Structure 1
């Protein structure tokens, strides 16, 4: 069977046709070229990058045009694949993710273009559009998924024609709900590891305390709920609380409610997300003369600074550097093979035992 009619034109032929179309129309969008040339958007972008390096075309927002006499000469050095990376914080959790991504990018002769967003951002698309305008070859993104614009952002990402990998997020797009590629921590497993450790020490009432607004919160709670149920523990007679973040002026009152509930129910252990909230809780225990771990064992979730506190906190540590490295490798594989199926990578966290957990009081 002759399958040549199912293949796109060869690279030289395709680039020649691209130049012919530019001579005719002046400016073309990526979406126009994918239809005209019968090639994937990522392939068209590679062609444009090659032609731009040769000085034959000039990139513009969303497309390409012919160069003018005033344009600078093309760089003599080979083009380096650049990966646009947008994360919601540059001072907590994601710096280690970014370092892992940088390491993997260097190994693959790529470079990371890092940008920071915010957990308060209502729409990530302006930042993402600026990365695309800079000519990045792929996007690695941890977008806000709890805002009204989330669906439009995901659809926009899928429509760029660039390889996209989500960090610590999952999403689907289009009429058939096709999954975007993603790399996530198995946060539910991490919570379950903490519960099993505490149950193994003899705790029968293990509560959970979660910072409001954290995208990790529902996964940690699910793992806590599943593991306590598997261990035969009664989750209705313990603490299941949400508290404001550590910077909130209402945190102390919320922590007092948690500790009062612990005393009322006989809860002897807590899993607390995240580190700042866990540290604040232990400090409040000290102020109320509740011994940790003598009267209350505490496991923190995130392990950014839990080990630096006194007492050093037992903590679940997400594999932050591995998350970044895996995202870059997903992108590299997608650039090499644009037609491969979508991959979703789940990486296990680890539990680090320290001084804040012990057997319950007898």
Structure 2
């Protein structure tokens, strides 16, 4: 028996089973353009891996929760994260804490924000017979994102997105997710600065999922208070480092001295600390001349001065993602899909308090 199936054929087999509930060998052979023996071998391999149930003349989707193991971990969960260096390690620690308590094993892989690698790594985990469920954070900013979401939603094992969620207009049947509500985090930062008397509030953030959501919250909060976001300073991170090809620091200083900028939200922490350092070197006072709120709170407390920060509950998001997956593993499809948002927390410090 072959060790694996061609990825495309396996996905088509699993998608057919998920959409119809059961399939016949002759129907699949005609649809896939392969021989009857090839389909039988494919179905036998998928059945051996616990992904489907064999029936006379065909197969059906696995609908019940997997049985608990008696000779090892109760469940084995595959996890694919885009970064194993920043932000996501804390999420992974939260996942592992709940997995350890439940007697589950985590198999971790990285994908480096690459949608092709996402698909490859997730596919490799799905193909492993011992994998009972998945926790994944795929790249959803590329044109193939809808295809990725449909594929994940159709897999015959439970999947929980972590720090990711589909667009609100995208139909989802079984896919679950737990994510930080970064839009609310952006709003919280603005509300804090407005309460300190600021009306000129700019933002510098990443162009990743988190940064875009924080910026959306920033815009919404400003508009709610009658402030035009288009009149505020906005830019991408990486522009305050000394080795940046194009520096935004001069623009910040000019606006501060003209009185058209009094506060900045900066994501992530390293850029916020770089900005604070350069401000002090240029003779600007923090927070008297410029208030700063960092976003992430991994190292913000070590800034000079200590930086106010918005802290996503990364470990809690990981814990909840694992709890949601365990709920589905225990109850099977009787468990209603859960889609949760966790609000980040404001941590006030010297950089924004007058």
- TM-score range with shorter-chain normalisation? 0.7 to 0.9
1:111 maps to 2:105: yes
- Which of 118, 130, 142 is matched with 2:137 structurally? 142
Which segment is superposed worse, 117-126 or 289-298?
A: 117-126
- Which of 164, 167, 185 is matched with 1:190 structurally? 185
2 CA distance for matches of 1:122 and 1:131?
15
2 CA distance for matches of 1:264 and 1:242?
22
2 CA distance for matches of 1:114 and 1:78?
18
- Which of 149, 155, 162 is matched with 2:157 structurally? 162
Cα distance, 1:38–1:172 mapped onto 2, change above 3 Å: farther
Q: How many residues align structurally? A: 310
Cα distance, 1:92–1:83 mapped onto 2, change above 3 Å: same
- Which of 324, 349, 353 is matched with 1:354 structurally? 349
Contact 1:244 1:251 in 2 (8 A): no
Give structure 2 stretches of 5+ with no counterpart: 1-20, 22-36
CA deviations over 1:82-127 (Å, ceiling 9, x no partner):
1111111111101111111011111211121111220355441111
1:29 maps to 2:22: no
- Which of 149, 152, 158 is matched with 2:147 structurally? 152
Cα distance, 1:208–1:163 mapped onto 2, change above 3 Å: same
CA deviations over 1:117-165 (Å, ceiling 9, x no partner):
2035544111112222333110000111112333332233223211000
CA deviations over 1:159-184 (Å, ceiling 9, x no partner):
32110000111127999543621001
1 CA distance for matches of 2:242 and 2:161?
29
- Which of 271, 278, 281 is matched with 2:272 structurally? 278
**TM-score of the pair, normalised by structure 1:** 0.76
Cα distance, 1:337–1:80 mapped onto 2, change above 3 Å: closer
Give structure 1 stretches of 5+ with no counterpart: 1-7, 9-21, 54-75
Cα distance, 1:38–1:264 mapped onto 2, change above 3 Å: farther
Contact 1:166 1:182 in 2 (8 A): yes
**TM-score of the pair, normalised by structure 2:** 0.78
2 CA distance for matches of 1:281 and 1:208?
12
1 CA distance for matches of 2:134 and 2:256?
45
1:293 maps to 2:287: yes
Contact 2:267 2:295 in 1 (8 A): yes
Contact 2:152 2:175 in 1 (8 A): no
Contact 2:239 2:246 in 1 (8 A): no
Residue aligning to 1:304 = 298
For residue 35 of structure 1, report the CA deviation from its aligned partner: 7.4
- Which of 228, 231, 235 is matched with 1:237 structurally? 231
1 CA distance for matches of 2:186 and 2:168?
29
Cα RMSD after superposing both structures: 3.1
